Chain A
Amino acid sequence: MTVYLPIAELSVNIFIILGMGAAVGFLSGMFGVGGGFLITPLLIFYNIPPVVAVATGANQVVASSVSGAITHFRRGTLDIKLGTVLLVGGLLGATAGIWVFSWLRSIGQLDLIIAILYVLLLGTVGTLMLNESVRALRRAARQEQVTLKRPGHHSWVHRLPFKMRFKKSKIYLSAIPVVALGFAIGVLTSVMGVGGGFIMVPAMIYLLRIPTNVVVGTSLFQIIFVTAYTTMVQAATNYSVDIVLATILMVAGVIGAQYGVRVGQKLRGEQLRALLALLVLAVALRLAVTLVVTPADLYSVSIGAF
């Protein structure tokens, strides 16, 4: 059964889109990630124009982050104040990102930059994660004690001015690195269509030393607002959010996520991380191949004078 996507302007098989949404939802539930970094490249592989894939990906992340954020809010593992400071940076970053996005589109380099960013980001994160999880797996096999290294409680990050007290997180931290992190994630949201949790969570833990228990909830809080904002701005400036595509993906995604969570609870943390790392690397590799393989046609046509 085919369905016509009005914004992407092409007909697709609804079952492929449903399957894609369910699979990414399942993985996002299993690994506790938003899934934007998987859905956007998958849509591009399925010939959805990258402009539409990125904007629709951001919209899909809103849905996949909501239920998680609600859960964390109920449990009290969400630092609203910290999240708001992150959000200020995030909204600024998303605005800057949209501007960059439109500019890249106008000079015809958007598809290339999206692919390069995905290769770099997924390649780096995937390698780091695989490295870390393999070491953890070896340690577990040798029955060693896990020792979390905490070198010097006061890094350069903690010497910055404009300190704020975040009661829920029980930390006293400069607003500068928080806003900067939010900004960077905001740019990624609008340029790549990702929530950015897979970068924000490690950065909050290792760089800002925010207690692990509030990290996920707080990052989800920021992600919901930044992705919602990005969806609106993409809709208003690039007209590139495909509501039909987004709805199919979201419905399949949230259902898939519920089953993913159940499977995830049965697997060990380091096993999960190793699997996720392999998946991330596979997507990066697939995108890298498209960058270097000689295209079937060197020419392309687009409507309008860009």
Chain B
Amino acid sequence: MEQIGILEGRQKQIFEKRKGTTQPDIACDTSSLSGSVSQRACVFCGSRVVLYPVADAIHLVHGPIGCAAYTWDIRGAVSSGPELHRLSFSTDLQEMDVIYGGEKKLYKSLIELIEQYKPKAAFIYSTCIVGLIGDDIEAVCKKVARETGIPVLPVHSEGFKGTKKDGYKAACHALMKLIGTGSTEDISKYSINILGEFNLAGEAWIIRQYYEKMGIEVVATLTGDGRIDAVRRAHGATLNVVQCSGSMTWLAKEMEEKYGIPYIRVSYFGIEDMSKSLYDVAVKFPDRPDIMEAAKQIVSEEVKTLYPSLQKFKKALTGKKAAIYVGGAFKTFSLIKALRSIGMSVVLAGSQTGNQDDYTRLKEMCDEGTVIVDDSNPVELSKFILEKGADLLIGGVKERPIAFKLGIGFCDHNHERKIPLAGFIGMYNFALEVYQSVMSPVWQFAPRKGGSL
């Protein structure tokens, strides 16, 4: 087989854990190398994924049609009520707009859409071209807000102005403008916000239920099943519980600074981390031992039913090898633990947007021989999958065909998934999905398993 090389500009973003070697830092937090076919998207994508689940706001993409078309109803983020987030609105800029400016079109679009859909707020996303033609989006938003009486929030998400992470920040910036504008009356002292949980396949509902069972009030979920009014009063919560740290840590820090709300980082994937995320919250309310008791109760009940049901999967999957390539590095920690709990080892772990701390921790966690990558691409992923003999790839839509072409199983752990993977029930679903894909008899026909080409 042909040796696959690594591009010169990429070598510092790849690391293989070996005994006795020095541990150089992985280069990360950089923009993608031109021509490397990064699996990342852009600033706009970062903003769009964070704000997307806010269901009673309209999301207007200011730019040519593509950015709106490709993000229409794209996430599995479900709502218990309004579903404005599932509509795609674009100013659909044409050549003349590019020449003469798109402000008028933006203003007219906004006034009409707000009249038609009566949203609680509007998010206006700037795309690449808006950053070039110099539309004064702030001014248009202010004017429309004044005239319609609802918050109209510009999101500065021009695609080329940074990486996906900058898009997260732009989205958080827009959210910060809302937070603090609602009443915090009647909010319990024993309350939290759930940050970085997007209610994919109803995951936020599962998590929320656990906390509520513990006697904790959930003020706002940012942004899963999101509502503008809930976001407005989020500053009334006592604690911020942050998942998907890549997107929401910035918001948590801002809220800590401005409102004195402390935050903790959690993960809802796998038995270990899910349990810990309940205990870690309970610890923060020491004057209410019943909260901790309730947390223990939930964990023990859930594990009692879950653990035996996982054994069938573990038996089948023990010794199988997994490769992980997801958006944020924080998720990989949980996935490694979750995979270990069903007998699998991890031979490749990587993310699009992990930071230095993440990768340091990842190095500590991983077994010897595991490859760690930042901002990888299809060529590299395939190289390591083949070299390491992985049986499973965990990733998103763009990674899926790589796995299937090479004849290995795949688990979709990205934002399009339709099956909840968070919570205790999520661990069951995860194990089931991994089992169903890895153990399928169809791989007998794959060339790497001896099938013909």
| A and B form one complex | no
Which residues of A pack against B, CB within 8 Å?
A: none
